[in-house]
Amino acid sequence: MAGLVLKDVRKTYGEVTALQNIDLVFPTGKLTALLGPSGCGKTTLLRIIAGLETPTRGSLSLNGNDITTLPANKRKFGMVFQSFALFPHLSVGENVAYSLMISGIEKRTRSKRAQELLDLVQMADFQDRRIGQLSGGQRQRVAIARALAQEPDVFLLDEPMSALDAQLRETMQVELRLLQQQLNITTIVVTHDQREAMTMADEIVVMSNGVSEQIGSPTDIYQRPETPFVASFIGKANFLDGVVRGGRVYAGECPFDLEKPAPFVDGSPVQLVCRPENVDLCPVDGTVSNTLSGPVTFVRDVGPTREVFVETSAGRVICEMPSSEATSVVQGETTGVRLKASALLCFPGQATGAAADPTAQTDDQRENVAA
Ligand code: ATP
């Protein structure tokens, strides 16, 4: 199969299982982001792909050729580390030329090629500067040029923006994405920053506890999360505990219509998940499905949108809308909130009576909706 294919990859360090059951395809010419919280196994996976770690079990192939045991220096994979790992005693041009020398490029063509690569990352004017005389963003560009010097089959980046300030990070994300599209190079980026992954990736692999939770486009992952973990890790989400009664889902004694009926038997605890932008404010009416009510406990403006926190009988619901549409919202007043059926997701819930206790959200979920 074309692309980089991982089959049933597992990695253990003594008692620690860093990765398990990893089956992934990294399509040729696409940028894939490995996204997940600290310790979920992203770097271990990237190092296995680079050949810097050996999997305990499983196989890797590139365009149909098995590379599981191929040493790192035979893989022709370019890598940019968090620290950039540039040679401080060499100039910008020499750093890139050194990489060309390692790749066996003859001396005559090295400086011309180095110049071309530095042109590509907009650093041609800095050829003679020492690394210590560059800003963080400029160092990152040099590290990218150096990694690309080897004309890698696969380009690997481990938290490439983590040393940069927020503004520069955003600029570099766009630059790196445009460069990747221009070169059409298969690229894998490790990040714990969901915005970075959404900005750059064709596909995102969301990881948690050593497993891949979901693989999909940024839109898929955001709009159709397959697990509560993905819903909570990507973007903001409201979580409501509910229960199935007579084939319908109830939360806070209100019946909820779903686009797809929940495949759960009566009595099952469930978790309803809804993005704040899919919640509308409405008049209080206890007879309408998908509608809860409660006091407005907090209101905040986040740029062009306003977030309204409503404490309902099924738990806190945050509603996000354009600020211009929420001018009449008053903290302390009671309001209704309607969760759009088309955007409501239903997952299995806790079997510990949580459905009966609307305040039984986990700390993570509370933090997430309050973020
Ligand atoms: P971070 O975002 O913090 O870098 P990560 O998602 O990249 O985290 P990994 O560095 O891949 O996570 O680590 C995954 C798990 O494997 C962690 O529990 C970590 O402690 C463990 N681990 C990683 N390397 C080793 C090692 N050499 N020996 C023992 N355990 C390790």
Domain ranges of the chain: 2-223, 238-354
Give one DSSP letter per residue of 187-210, joined into a string: EEEEES-HHHHHHH-SEEEEEETT
Same fold yes or no, 2-223 and 238-354: no
- The set of residues, in sequence order, having a beta carbon less than 8 Å from that of 104 and lying 6+ positions away, is none
Question: Residue 362 has what pLDDT?
Answer: 40
May I ask the CATH class of domain 238-354? mainly beta
Does the C-beta of 1 come closer than 6 Å to ligand 1?
no
Question: Residue 214 has what pLDDT?
Answer: 97
- The set of residues, in sequence order, having a beta carbon less than 8 Å from that of 144 and lying 6+ positions away, is 80, 121, 160, 176, 179
Question: Residue 163 has what pLDDT?
Answer: 73
Q: Which residues of the chain form beta strands (DSSP E)?
A: 4-13, 16-26, 31-35, 57-62, 65-66, 77-80, 154-158, 186-191, 203-208, 211-216, 238-245, 248-251, 254-256, 269-274, 279-282, 291-302, 305-312, 315-322, 334-339, 345-348
Ligand 1, atom 2: nearest CA belongs to which residue? 38
Question: Residue 366 has what pLDDT?
Answer: 39
Task: Record the pTM.
Answer: 0.86
Question: Residue 368 has what pLDDT?
Answer: 41
Does the C-beta of 42 come closer than 6 Å to ligand 1?
yes
CATH 3.40.30.10 fits 2-223, yes or no: no
Cβ–Cβ < 8 Å for 121, 179: yes
Ligand 1, atom 1: nearest CA belongs to which residue? 38
Cβ–Cβ < 8 Å for 164, 137: yes
Does the C-beta of 43 come closer than 6 Å to ligand 1?
yes
Give every residue of the chain whose pLDDT is below 70, as ranges. 1, 84, 351-371
Ligand 1, atom 19: nearest CA belongs to which residue? 39
Question: Residue 360 has what pLDDT?
Answer: 38
Question: Residue 1 has what pLDDT?
Answer: 61
Does the C-beta of 306 come closer than 6 Å to ligand 1?
no
CA of 158 to the centre of ligand 1 (A): 13
- The 10s digit of each residue's pLDDT in 205-261 is 999 999 999 999 999 999 999 999 999 999 999 999 999 998 899 998 899 999 877
Question: Residue 241 has what pLDDT?
Answer: 93
Does the C-beta of 20 come closer than 6 Å to ligand 1?
no
Question: Residue 212 has what pLDDT?
Answer: 96
Ligand 1, atom 17: nearest CA belongs to which residue? 39
Ligand 1 pocket test, candidate residues 9, 43, 45, 188, most atoms within 8 A of CB: 43
Residue 218 in tokens: 């940024």
CA of 189 to the centre of ligand 1 (A): 16
Question: Residue 357 has what pLDDT?
Answer: 36
CA of 104 to the centre of ligand 1 (A): 34
Q: In what order do the strands lie in the sheet with 57-62?
A: 16-26, 4-13, 57-62, 65-66
- The set of residues, in sequence order, having a beta carbon less than 8 Å from that of 45 and lying 6+ positions away, is 9, 11, 19, 22, 34, 190, 207
Residue 89 in tokens: 């005693």
Question: Residue 286 has what pLDDT?
Answer: 81
